[in-house]
Amino acid sequence: MLEGRTALVTGSAKGLGRRTALELARLGCDVAINYVSSRAEAESAVREIRALGREAVAIGADISKAEEARRLVDETEEKLGGVDILINNAGPFIRERKLFADYSAEEIHYLMNGNLVGTMLLDHRVLPGMRERQWGRIVHFGFGHAAEARSWPQRAVYAAAKVGLVSFTKTLAVEEAANGITVNMICPGDIRGEYKEKGIAEVDGVRDEEAPRGRPGTGEDVARVIGFLCLPESDFVTGNTIEVSGGLDPIVTYVKRS
């Protein structure tokens, strides 16, 4: 259904990005796999995509750095052609919980650049080609309930970047709709560890007592929604934040644990 299209998926050597890249390849896309340090995993993903009959390349680049974000798109265009689909999955996350006052200035810049500014720069770089072709799909990654702009204690910088990205998603969607470009945000729930690359059938019978749905979320849950958003027939779906959480509220869950 996406035969002849080129997709760039940031942070796609592992986890949700990898599962998304494979889903787009199954739908017919050639795919650029992006990584920062996971070169072996990225090359493994390339081999897996080529086994599906699609072309793929692995490109190392840190999108929190403007020059590397630009180079990532340049190399993708050089090796695979113009970027028709941009999946902005990559985004740094500091797992240690700490108050905003305890962040260093470097950490603040790193999180904001990696989760908001770098994403905006990638979008800005691919838009001219998408406009010329009058077709494009852009997907941003958020977190559960990001669109509500609630407080998230001890996640202040990450949350601020993603909430800012919500507004940008909606604005860009309106600005580019007439050019055949859709822009949406996917908001995964608490999908953990190895489940990020698993399929739905692989968790059949597995119980997750914290999840209202009763089972763990998987990478396939997220990738299937992204695949739908990228289809030609999905051109009327734009400017949305879409929850893929099984009903779990990560912020409320954190407050209860505390």
Largest CA distance in the chain: 51
User: According to the model, what pLDDT value does residue 211 have?
Assistant: 78
User: According to the model, what pLDDT value does residue 163 have?
Assistant: 96
The answer to whether residue 138 is domain-embedded is: yes
User: According to the model, what pLDDT value does residue 48 have?
Assistant: 97
**Which DSSP symbol is given to 217?**
-
The answer to whether residue 1 is domain-embedded is: no
The answer to whether residue 225 is domain-embedded is: yes
Give the phi and the psi of residue 68 in degrees, each rounded to 5.
-75, -35
User: According to the model, what pLDDT value does residue 174 have?
Assistant: 98
The answer to whether residue 53 is domain-embedded is: yes
pTM of the model: 0.93
The answer to whether residue 248 is domain-embedded is: yes
**Tens-binned pLDDT, residue by residue, of the chain (258 aa):** 899 999 999 999 999 999 999 999 999 999 999 999 999 999 999 999 999 999 999 999 999 999 999 999 999 999 999 999 999 999 988 888 999 999 999 999 999 999 999 999 999 999 999 999 999 999 999 998 888 888 889 999 999 999 999 999 999 999 999 999 999 999 998 888 899 989 988 988 888 878 778 888 899 999 999 999 999 999 999 999 999 988 887 666 555 555
Which CATH number fits the domain that encloses residue 158? Answer: 3.40.50.720
Distance CA 85, CA 83 (A): 6
The residues with which 138 forms a beta bridge, in sequence order, are 86, 183
Query: 92-127 b/e with 16+ CB inside 10 Å = b?
Result: beeeeeeeeeebeeeeeebbbbbbbbbbbbbbebbb
User: According to the model, what pLDDT value does residue 258 have?
Assistant: 52
User: According to the model, what pLDDT value does residue 112 have?
Assistant: 96
User: According to the model, what pLDDT value does residue 73 have?
Assistant: 98
User: According to the model, what pLDDT value does residue 64 have?
Assistant: 93
User: According to the model, what pLDDT value does residue 67 have?
Assistant: 96
User: According to the model, what pLDDT value does residue 216 have?
Assistant: 85
Number of compact structural domains in the chain: 1
CB 237 within 8 A of CB 229: yes
Can you give the residue range of the structural domain that contains 162? 6-257
Distance CA 134, CA 242 (A): 24
